[in-house]
Chain A
Amino acid sequence: MKQIALYGKGGIGKSTTAANLSAALAGEGLDVLQIGCDPKHDSTRMLMHGTWIPTVLDLIRERGDENITVDDVVYRGFRGVRCVEAGGPEPGIGCAGRGIIATFQLLERLDALKGDVIVYDVLGDVVCGGFAMPMREGYAQEIYLVTSGELMSIYAANNIAKAIARLSRRARSRCTLGGVICNAKNIEGERDLVDDFARRINSRLIAYIPRDRVVQVAELHRQTVVEYAPDSDQAAVYEELGRTIYANQTTSIPTPLEMDELESFALEFVQV
């Protein structure tokens, strides 16, 4: 079983990438489980054709965790991809990080973490220990950073690389960086910039996803691109991404940049 996690700045397109990746992997005949780890709980929505599935934490809140079965939390979407949403508290109250930990504990107890591939789609910033849960022992061994060429997005990716580096120092830790995915915003020189950033943090650009209007159109139709426009170039990009990641054996311990390195890196690429 291959367990991977996608991390990156909020709004960068992690969920879109994750859902299309899962759809592409399922198209290869693989049994895929996608787990949305974000209180916004919209990770799997396109796989579910727009349906908001009940979140694990809402179920725990309503029923208590003794009376929940696998069928209550796992829903089959496009191509049979099994979908789970962790959920979380309303904005501004409670502790979403602890919610992720509670979700993982329940999924473990239900023996729900199985299949050929598990894709964890995690909230933008690793703000606390709870959101680093998918990186811990026994969960995702490969982390993929999703970033555009925007500097704020690169900063966020660098921060997540710090979390990976920290966790990989732990005994028995198997958490490594699988690569950097550039989800393009159509910025000049974007591919080179992300490629250079990836190399500087001891990783590599594993995929370049161009910006394409079909992504928005597919979402308006509440579908992944892979489902809505299976013959499109964009669908082919996601299918290639799926094959690359599934076959990927090369991972690394990242060497995140210091702040001054990041700033001089930015200066090299930004046209002043």
Chain B
Amino acid sequence: MNSNPSPSNSSRFEGCTLTGALSVLTEVRDAVCVIHGPSGCTHHNFSLLHATLLSNDRPGVPRLLSTRLTEKDIIFGGEEALEATIARALSLFPAPSSVFVLSTCIVETIGDDTAAVSAKAWGVPVIAVPTAGFLGGVFETGIKNALSSVASLARPAGERTLSANLVGEKNLEYGVDENAAEIGRLLARLGIGINLRFVRGIGTGDVGRLGSAAVNILREPALRPVGDDLKRRFNTPFVDSFPAGLSGTCRFLEDVGRICGIDASAAVEGERAFQREMLSRFTDIGGSRVCFRSPHPMLEGDPVAEAVSTECAAALDLAVEEDGTPIPLPYPAPVGTAGLRRMLNRWRVLVREKGRG
């Protein structure tokens, strides 16, 4: 997920709009996703999502249904197949509380009107999400389209609570829940609770309270268009990224405090002390020589990850030199102080291995 995918590493950052959208929509746990296209579009996404759930020890299967279009439907139009599949989705047990209808390349090519079919009186919300990849979108476009589509289920902005939404968590990466817990810990320093994880393991009804948070916390700056969209809908201000780095984490507390009208100085002071305590556990690698490397030849260095690593190296008095212990830059950048601790644990292992020669 990257706002500016580079052709040199397209294999990592581009990808299918449909997959991006499904990574969000399958986290509405009582919804069914209808994928309007050939069965293969559903199959490979099912495999990916299911494998990710399993490898993160999350039981359950993604609730995907394909309209299973064949050449016959392409020639004569696939809208009837879509209607039948939405009806089938609604007849499943347990009955879905909402249905998302995702388009594919071929149905956009032949001009099937998924929005019109979805707009019929189905009894529960049936929401069309444009996800045809060939129109130029990438994985990230799918995430944005999906988040905006789910937001349409929310009630109009009502009474606000001193709480925050987490917006656009990267559901396919490792450590999603650890990162959310870290944000929860930091927000607790300001007396702010988490209103809604938008979208991670929630129900259709939960989306109703999307507009009642005091602040939206975006997973990363690439989601700014979603932040803007939510601001238009609910007038909720946003912080454009999860915190990264020692000073970045303190700055995050200040930003959230400012938006919520809370004096963050005590929270920042507390976090600085927490960070000093955390760093003190790594004094054993102090003074070592390290050298930062791109995490993989296919990946360009992430400037945020590099800045965070350099900052930590300075705090631990590590020497960054060409022939130092090679340390791959993290991808994505670690979240908060807890993320740094996990990163430094990995550094320690590498430095010790090198030391043993």
Contact = CB atoms under 8 A, between A and B. Distances in A.
Contacts of B75: 57, 88-89, 94-96, 98-99, 102
Nearest to B72: A61
A60 interface: yes
A102 B77 contact: no
A98 B77 contact: no
A98 B78 CA distance: 13
Interface in B34-84: 71-79
Contacts of B110: 94-95, 98
A1 interface: no
Interface in A81-118: 88-90, 93-96, 98-99, 102
B71 A89 contact: no
A88 B110 CA distance: 13
Interface string A48-62: 000000000100110
Contacts of B72: 60-61, 64
B3 interface: no
B168 to A, nearest CB: 35
A60 B110 CA distance: 19
Interface residues on A, range: 10 to 19
A98 B79 contact: no
Contacts of A93: 76-77, 79, 111-112
A59 to B, nearest CB: 11
A130 to B, nearest CB: 9
Contacts of A102: 71, 75
B76 A94 contact: yes
Interface string B69-113: 001111111110000000000000000000000000000011110
Nearest to A99: B75
A64 B70 CA distance: 11
A164 B71 CA distance: 27
B37 to A, nearest CB: 14
A245 B339 CA distance: 79
A94 B71 contact: no
B109 A95 contact: yes
Contacts of B112: 93
Nearest to A93: B77
B342 to A, nearest CB: 52
B39 to A, nearest CB: 17
Contacts of A89: 75-77
B79 A95 contact: no
Contacts of A99: 75-76
Nearest to A130: B75
Contacts of B71: 98, 102
Interface of B: 71-79, 109-112
Task: Give the 4 A-B residue pairs with the shortest CB-CB distance, closest first.
Answer: A93-B77, A94-B77, A99-B75, A95-B110
